Structures are given as structure tokens and as C-alpha cells.
Amino acid sequence: MSYDVNTKQEYNAPAPAVSQSASQILESLGGKLSKMNNPAKGQLEATFNKKISGKPLPNRCQVRVKVVPKSAESCAVMTKTFPVDPLGNKLSFGVRGDAAQVVSDTFLEALAASVTG
């Protein structure tokens, strides 16, 4: 059984602006940004340590975001969210609750509000 949550959404906004906004949102929600985080290339990664926006989660989760330009004024945002152990290794068993889905939904709602609002 896979605990991954994969999403893809399109936005009518330039990719660099969406990427920068996504990076700021990941940090504001309580995620620890990875060293591999590169908003200029549209590649983002953050780990949530059993909390998002102050709400407790049953597991740690990692979010990987890729922002791909479709045109000068639109882009696609793809996310992959999955539970990880304390060392950052992907969990394939022993996962409690739906932490990955909660993290994914919370991030995408905040991103949509930021981009469209």
C-alpha cells in the first residue's frame, strides 16, 4: 500500500512567482526547507515534523513540489507528499492516520489563496 499523495494543479500566474510563493508558504506552514530547495528552478522540498500550522500530525511528512511553466503567464504545480521517519527515509509501513493528505491539502489551499487572491 502506498501512502504517497500526488497532485497536479494549473495556475494562471507566471512560474517564478508561483515558485517563490510556494516556498514562502511551505516555510510559513512550519516546514523545514531542504538544502535541495531551489525556487529559481521550480524545485521545492520541505519536511513537516508532526505539525502543520500548529496542528499536530500523526507522522512526519515530506513535500516535494515542482513548478513547470506552461506559458509566460501560466504554470503547473505538481506535488508529492509522503510520510518519513526521523531520518527522512520514506515510510512504507507503520503509518498512522492521513498526515500526507492533510499536509498536501493545507499546502494547496494556501497556494491557491496566495496565487488567486
Mean pLDDT by 10 residues, the chain (117 residues): 90 94 95 91 95 93 96 95 93 89 96 88
For the domain 5-116, what is the CATH code?
Answer: 3.30.530.20
Kindly report the pTM of this predicted structure. Answer: 0.92
pLDDT of residue 85: 93
Is-contact 77 18, C-beta < 8 A? Answer: yes
pLDDT of residue 1: 60
Cβ count within 10 A of residue 64: 16
Cβ count within 10 A of residue 45: 20
Q: Which residues have a Cβ under 8 Å from the Cβ of 74 and sit 6 or more positions away?
A: 10, 11, 12, 13, 14
